[in-house]
Amino acid sequence: MDIATIVGIIGGVVLIVVSILLGSPLTAFLNIPGLMIVVGGTIMATLIMQKLNVVLSAFNVAMNAFFDKTVPPDRLIKQIVDLAVKVRKGGLLALEKEKIKHPFLARAVRMAVDGVEPQEIIQTLKIEIDSMVERHESGQKIFRFMGSTSPAMGMIGTLIGLVQMLRTMNDPSTIGPAMAVALLTTFYGALMAFLIFNPIADKLEERTKEEKFNMEIILAGIDGIIKGINHLILQDKLIAFLPSKKRKLGK
């Protein structure tokens, strides 16, 4: 669970709600037509922009913003070096019954144990990395689109409210509801864009970078294991991926 994402969204909503309650009842900021325009309009525009299955898969990808499953790189490097030590003692077959939780590393090790050509292993892993990045970027693109569309839908709602208000200026009782739609749709659009959609897109981008970084470490590690590089040399090679402050790794 990524506490920062949860705290950010809940904390942001709480601060906004409290600030509203300090000056007026919460119901004053509840406008069904405005929500229909912004929420419904954003969803419909997104469906026009992309296929349904891609949009649905993007929401699955969005779960990465709430659940951080990224393995710390230093722990991953230590695991790879431990595998290299076992290979040095018993060959690649020594990893046949090794239980590895990281799916990408497990796949790489399985191919090596199965005797797949080193070139094929590296090529397959690179394809998988590119595929992961492309899949995640598709999800980010959808949330960025929603982040730019929701304020635009809010502006459309504002225009609708202003037109309704101008048409009924002779009836003062209708000015309030029309003005509410005009102002609240802009509020809803800005809230959704800057508190939900854009931050989630940025968090997903960061998750993709972290995952790609780990996969590149695994790629270099499995390449070294296949080539029979000494585990100490391999460790130094993999540690080079880390910032200087994190290059201890039990040395």
Phi, psi (deg, nearest 5) at residue 236 = -60, -40
Site of tokens 């790794």: 249
The answer for 71, left when phi > 0, alpha when psi is -120 to 50, beta otherwise, is: beta
> 81, 239 in Cβ contact below 8 A?
no
Q: What radius of gyration do the chain's Cα atoms show?
A: 26
Closest listed residue to residue 133, CA positions, set 66, 208, 203, 62: 208
> 85, 95 in Cβ contact below 8 A?
no
Site of tokens 């070096």: 81
Per-residue pLDDT of the chain (251 residues; tens, 9 = 90+): 678 888 999 999 999 999 999 988 888 888 888 899 999 999 999 999 999 888 888 888 788 788 888 889 999 999 999 999 999 888 988 898 888 999 999 999 999 999 999 999 999 999 999 999 998 898 899 999 999 999 999 999 898 888 878 877 777 777 777 777 788 999 999 999 999 999 999 999 999 999 999 999 999 999 999 998 999 999 999 999 998 777 665 44
Which pLDDT does position 60 carry in this prediction?
81
Number of alpha carbons in the 13 Å side-chain half-sphere of residue 125: 28
Pure H helices in 28-114: 32-35, 41-49, 52-62, 73-90, 103-113
Per residue in 211-224, pLDDT (tens digit) is 999 999 999 999 99
Domain ranges of the chain: 1-30, 31-251
Which pLDDT does position 249 carry in this prediction?
57
Number of alpha carbons in the 13 Å side-chain half-sphere of residue 228: 5
Per residue in 119-177, pLDDT (tens digit) is 999 999 999 999 999 988 988 999 999 999 999 999 998 988 888 788 777 777 777 77
Q: What's the predicted TM-score (pTM) here?
A: 0.82
Which pLDDT does position 73 carry in this prediction?
92
